[in-house]
């Protein structure tokens, strides 16, 4: 008789501590979790820090397609029925701590532990909804509203608890890629947001809830307003 029965599965413990088929990794700013074309052999769970997912076209043009926050997975494409190559790259924007889970271990725990598979399914649904929202935003909203939405998402407005008002360091080029406009337009909008009290900038960008006005209301000066002094953000 077993006097020490196994403990019930705990999702938080599984994602917080190293074990069979999983280990904690430290990723420095600008270092890659994985690169486009690498073997898709693991999934990462971000514990701390911020990351971005990018793709590079055949002609070498790079585009940022999503940002990753703590509590989210990245590289989940490794769970495809047939293992293949990474279709995108994931890079740390700040120092990151992540749990690296092998594909085999990820498949095993999803099959055997319903609490984990339920949690992972909720994550996939949330990411799918985010992708749809991004597409709608790109198709129907002005570039100014798209920039406001990205800044609010980076500051984590709308999540439980206090929002992280200071966003990670990000270049205007990256913001321009994400919203489909030019760096000069991003500079114009950022400077206008600052003058209107929606954001502050003193080494890092601080986002205020009032930036929601850009999305909820149409009471801002139009794009033909006099262009203010260029607002320069340090490069990544």
138-157 mean pLDDT: 86
User: Which pLDDT belongs to residue 218?
Assistant: 54
Residue 229 has pLDDT above 50, yes or no: no
Which has the higher per-residue pLDDT, 145 or 234? Answer: 145
Q: Give 193: exposed, middle or buried? Use CB within 10 Å, 0-12, 13-18, 19+.
A: buried
Please report which confidence band the pLDDT of residue 112 belongs to, taking 50, 70 and 90 as the band edges: very high
pLDDT at residue 2 greater than cutoff 50: no
Mean pLDDT of 116-131: 93
pLDDT at residue 236, as a whole number: 44
* pLDDT surpasses 70 at 222: no
Whether 11-137 and 141-216 share one fold: the answer is no
Q: How does pLDDT run across 16-43, given as a tens digit for each residue? A: 999 999 999 999 999 999 999 999 999 9
> In whole angstroms, what is the distance from residue 20 CA to residue 191 CA?
50
Number of Cβ within a 10 Å radius of residue 188: 22
Q: How is the chain split into domains, by residue range? A: 11-137, 141-216
Indicate whether 138 pLDDT > 70.
yes
CATH code of the region 11-137: 2.60.120.10
Fold of the domain built from segment(s) 141-216: Arc Repressor Mutant, subunit A (1.10.10)
Q: 172 versus 1: which is more confidently predicted?
A: 172
d(CA 18, CA 97): 12
pLDDT of residue 189: 94
pLDDT of residue 87: 93
């Amino acid at each position: 008789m077993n006097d020490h029965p196994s403990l019930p599965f705990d999702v938080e413990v599984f994602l917080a501590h190293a074990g069979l088929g999983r280990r904690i990794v430290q990723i420095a700013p600008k270092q890659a979790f994985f690169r486009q074309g690498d073997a898709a052999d693991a999934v990462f769970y971000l514990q701390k820090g911020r990351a971005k997912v990018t793709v590079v076209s055949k002609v070498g043009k790079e585009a940022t397609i999503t940002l990753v926050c703590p509590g989210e997975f990245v590289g989940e494409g490794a769970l495809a029925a047939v293992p293949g190559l990474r279709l995108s790259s994931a890079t740390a924007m700040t120092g990151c701590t992540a749990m690296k889970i092998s594909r085999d271990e990820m498949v095993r725990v999803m099959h055997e532990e319903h609490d984990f598979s339920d949690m992972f399914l909720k994550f996939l649904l949330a990411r799918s909804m985010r992708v749809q929202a991004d597409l709608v935003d790109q198709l129907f909203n002005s570039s100014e509203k798209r920039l406001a939405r990205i800044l609010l998402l980076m500051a984590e407005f709308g999540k439980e608890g206090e929002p992280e008002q200071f966003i990670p360091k990000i270049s205007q080029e990256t913001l321009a890629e994400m919203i489909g406009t030019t760096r000069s337009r991003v500079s114009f909008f950022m400077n206008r947001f600052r003058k209107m009290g929606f954001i502050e900038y003193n080494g890092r960008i601080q986002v205020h809830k009032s930036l929601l006005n850009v999305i909820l209301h149409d009471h801002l000066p139009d794009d033909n307003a006099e262009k203010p002094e260029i607002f320069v953000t340090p490069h990544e």
